[in-house]
A and B are shown apart, each in its own frame.
Chain A
Amino acid sequence: QQPVQSPQAVILREGEDAVINCSSSKALYSVHWYRQKHGEAPVFLMILLKGGEQKGHEKISASFNEKKQQSSLYLTASQLSYSGTYFCGTETPDSWGKLQFGAGTQVVVTP
């Protein structure tokens, strides 16, 4: 089952903050976040694992509420380079390796 993302789109000015949400109807083991710029491949941002472990490359923070089966990605002090479509991907405990992505949230950061 695919996770559900909200909002579908958000427009920000440089320096503003935004939150992207990802929710699942199933218990989750891990949540993954990727960003895809137009015409490019998705790029890894972060993994959040059940139990609290996090692994990420960029200065983007996220949270994982295991009880609510939800994750949120926080875009703080947004930069023009943050523009793109953000996808959350989820794995359940009984099907790891089967990373299923949501429909995406389009983020546009303007000067």
Chain B
Amino acid sequence: DAGVTQSPTHLIKTRGQQVTLRCSPKSGHDTVSWYQQALGQGPQFIFQYYEEEERQRGNFPDRFSGHQFPNYSSELNVNALLLGDSALYLCASSYRLADNTGELFFGEGSRLTVL
């Protein structure tokens, strides 16, 4: 049973460029959350997708957008990259529960460096 897979694992971009990160959730999971983790910090919640809709959003600008596909996989897009966007981007999948997030399964992350 494959866990959460993310691609690419590492990438380097320059300021102003755009990037797309991809995530395939664990089998049986229908919800995908995206987190940004700067070095030495805790994961910061970007947004959560369920039924192809953004259900919750953290304190991130509109440059951060996402999508969820019918097969539950998801993409995170970041436009107009800034140096401060350099971080590890984590995707976490879960099975939607009635009243709480439930157990998150994290992928290994995509390490983005903006030069």
Q: Which of A13-21, A35-43, A62-70, A74-82 contacts B (4 or more CB under 8 A)?
A: A35-43
Q: Quote the shortest CB–CB distance from A102 to chain B (angstroms).
A: 5
Number of A-B residue pairs having CB atoms within 8 Å of each other in the complex: 66
Q: Is B99 at the interface (CB under 8 A from chain A)?
A: yes
Residue contact A30 to B100, C-beta cutoff 8 Å = yes
Q: How far is the CB of A7 from chain B (nearest CB, A)?
A: 15
Please report the total number of B residues contacting A with Cβ < 8 Å. 27
A103 proximal to B (CB < 8 A): yes
Q: 0/1 per residue, B40-60, Cβ < 8 Å to A?
A: 011111001010000111100
Residues of B close to A55: CB separation below 8 A: 103
- Inter-chain contact B42/A101, CB cutoff 8 Å: yes
User: How many of chain A's residues have a CB under 8 angstroms from any CB in B?
Assistant: 26
Flag whether A108 is at the interface (Cβ < 8 A).
no
Interface centre among A42, A99, A102 (most CB of B within 10 A): A99
Interchain CB contact (< 8 A) of B101 among A2, A42, A99: A99
26 contacts between A and B (CB under 8 A): A2-B42, A32-B101, A40-B108, A41-B90, A41-B106, A42-B43, A44-B103, A44-B105, A47-B102, A87-B43, A91-B101, A96-B99, A96-B101, A97-B31, A97-B56, A98-B45, A98-B56, A98-B58, A99-B33, A99-B101, A101-B42, A101-B43, A101-B44, A102-B42, A103-B41, A103-B42
